[in-house]
Structure formats: structure tokens, C-alpha cells
Structure 1
């Protein structure tokens, strides 16, 4: 799946000239927590969120300057950045500039990596450099929910050999996977044998097994890998 398949197309956007009070009303009215900032040509020039509005002098939440030696203020910005955050009048003055964006054909795997690596909750989607949508974490969760299907009756008729072949195919190339000799399928039940290095390895094998259509349950016969003293 790609960005175009899950993105929200009706995006509420603002401009750098939008006032902070107008922005606050838009966020409340549309029940959103952030908005992309676009120029007159529809190019994304920034992003602004609720987090940018936390420290505001109107509601008494601005950061108070700590009393310290005057020379420390000279060497630093003297709280100038904090003052801008709490007293700015337009979006352009406090927005996050040059935000990360993706294209319509960006895969969901790539989008997930972007959200994770940049520690963000949403990412604008572009077409020919212009804003056409936005993908948020909730969009990915919705895609996941849509992909989950209940096993059908024909799946339950898969033979033990077919189940094992599908499982081995899914495990191919995964460094944590058990060797084939440690996986036995009988009457739709997957039996796991051998030694395991960690609980995560065993959980991964169980989840992989349970994801195969026709598997009734998974039985664990494994033993922990012996830890050598002094290692």
C-alpha cells in the first residue's frame, strides 16, 4: 500500500500569515492537533502543532526567565527564542520550517520509518511538490485494521505440508528463525522444538506460526539455550 491509499485528502492547512488566534480556532473547530503551512502556490513550507502553542503569554504559560549572572545572558540568546514562542502573532514566526514530506507513491513501510526516525506523528503528502494529503499514525492503524481478516473455512483445510511450506517460506532469510528440523506440523498444530536464545525469538516464532492460515495452535517444546559461565 502507498500513501495515496491511506492519506487524508481534505487537509486543513494554514499560511505563514495566519494569526495564532486563527490557528487555535481552526485546531479546535476541526478537532486536529496540527496543520501543514503552505505558501500561495500550495508548497509546504512548514508544520505547526499544539505543542507550539503550549507556552503563551495570553494564558500565563510562558517560560519565566531565571535570575542568573548578566554575562550568561550575553553568551546565550537571553530567552529570545522562548519569548518568540510565547508572543508571536503569526504562524510563520513559530512554525517548524522545512518539514519532512513524502510523495503519493511512498510505501507505508517507508512512511512508518519516517515517522519513527523523525519522532513525528504525521507527514504531509505531495504531488508535484504541492500538498495533496497527510498521513498520520492513525491512518496506519486504520490500514492495519482493514487488513486483518478472519480465517475462512477453506484455510482450515490446508494440509500440514502446506502449512509448514508457507511457514518456512515466511521465515526464509530471517536470522532469528528456527531451522526446519525444529518445526513440525501435525493436524494443523505447529510444534516448535530446539533451543532458543531469548523470549523475543520464541515470541517471533509463535507469531509467525499463528499468522499462517489453517494453524489451529502452537505448542512450545523449546528449552533455553545454556548460558556458559564466564561468558
Structure 2
């Protein structure tokens, strides 16, 4: 009658973790709500409310990432339009989006991505391959990844 050692079971668990993929591309969202630079800012506001999202990527006709638009950018526009007494319907996304967008590599380890979120204080990162937007990873996606692999040996 053999008794399994606790260490033996742990070693087996660790090998399962190694075979499990832990990259950003495995947990990123690929079905994205995107915007075009020439759309009115009101379109963004409606989409953010309807889809319960806090922002989204802005792409050109070739699906190349040109910016990010967020709730904060929209709120800034609301405040400015009131202050300067300017109509909002004349404002396009391009004038209010952040165009210097920090992206994340789809092959990055999920734990390195978590660290990048902490350091940057961003809520989401787009993933670009060959110049095209292929997905987005959010802080919530990182939490989902952690819950998927919880209880296993993290490496």
C-alpha cells in the first residue's frame, strides 16, 4: 500500500500550470466596439452608455489603431462645451481622443501584464499585430485570468 507524498502531488500540479497558456492573447477581448476619428463625440457617449463600457479604440478604415476615447475624454468635452458655449454635435472623436496610445504585446505573460497595469494606471491596453488592432485587454480580463488559474502554482 503506497502513500502519495504531498510533494509529488504539487509537482504534478506545477506541470499542469506550465502547459496552461498564460499570455495576454489568451484572455484579451477580440470582439471590440471601435470608433472612427470622424464620428461625432455624441456617438461615443451613446455607445459607452448602451454597452456599459468605459472607452474604446479608435481605428481608421484599415483597422489601424489611431487613438483611444474614454468616458473621461467625453466628460472633458461636456465641460468645455458648456464653458465655451460651443455645441457638442460639431465635435468629432479625433479632436478629443488620446492619440499617443500605449499598447501591450499579445505574447506577454499575464502576470507581467498585471504589473504593467499597476505601473501605468490604465484601465485597458489595445493589442496590435502587423499594425492592425486585434484585441484589447482590460483589468477585468486580468482578474478573469487569475480566477481561471487560481489554486495552481503560479510561475
Q: Structure 1 pair 120/28, CA: closer, same or farther in 2 (3 Å)?
A: same
Which string of whole-angstrom CA distances, capped at 9 and with x for unpartnered residues, describes residues 206-230 of structure 1? xxxxx8xxxxxxxxxxxxxxxxxxx
Give structure 2 stretches of 5+ with no counterpart.
1-21
State the distance in 2 between where 1:48 and 1:91 align. 7
Aligned mates of 1:124, 1:96 — CA distance in 2? 13
Query: 2:27: which partner in 1?
Result: 6
Q: Which has the higher helix share?
A: 2
Moved more, 96-105 or 137-146: 96-105
**Which structure has the larger Rg over C-alpha atoms?**
1
Please give the alpha-carbon distance, in whole angstroms, between the structure 2 residues aligned to 1:8 and 1:64: 35
Shift of 1:47: 0.5
Give 5+ residue unaligned stretches, structure 1. 66-82, 151-210, 212-231
Sort the Cα spacing of 1:98 and 1:63 in 2 relative to 1 into closer, same or farther, 3 A: same
- Is the aligned partner of 1:142 residue 2:136? no
Report deviation, 1:63. 8.3
After TM superposition, the score normalised by the length of structure 1 is 0.51
**Higher mean displacement: 124-133 or 100-109:** 100-109
- Among 112, 121, 124, the alignment partner of 2:126 is 124
Find runs of 4+ consecutive structure 1 residues off by over 3 angstroms. 61-65, 85-88
1:21 paired residue number: 42
User: How many angstroms does 1:128 deviate by?
Assistant: 1.4
Q: Deviations over 1:77-135 (max 9, x none)?
A: xxxxxx5x995611000100120012321222332233222220100011212111100
TM-aligned CA distance change 1:132 to 1:86, over 3 Å:
farther
Question: 5 Å matches for 1:80-95?
Answer: 87=88, 89-95=91-97
Q: Is the Cα contact below 8 Å between 1:56 and 1:86 reproduced in 2?
A: no
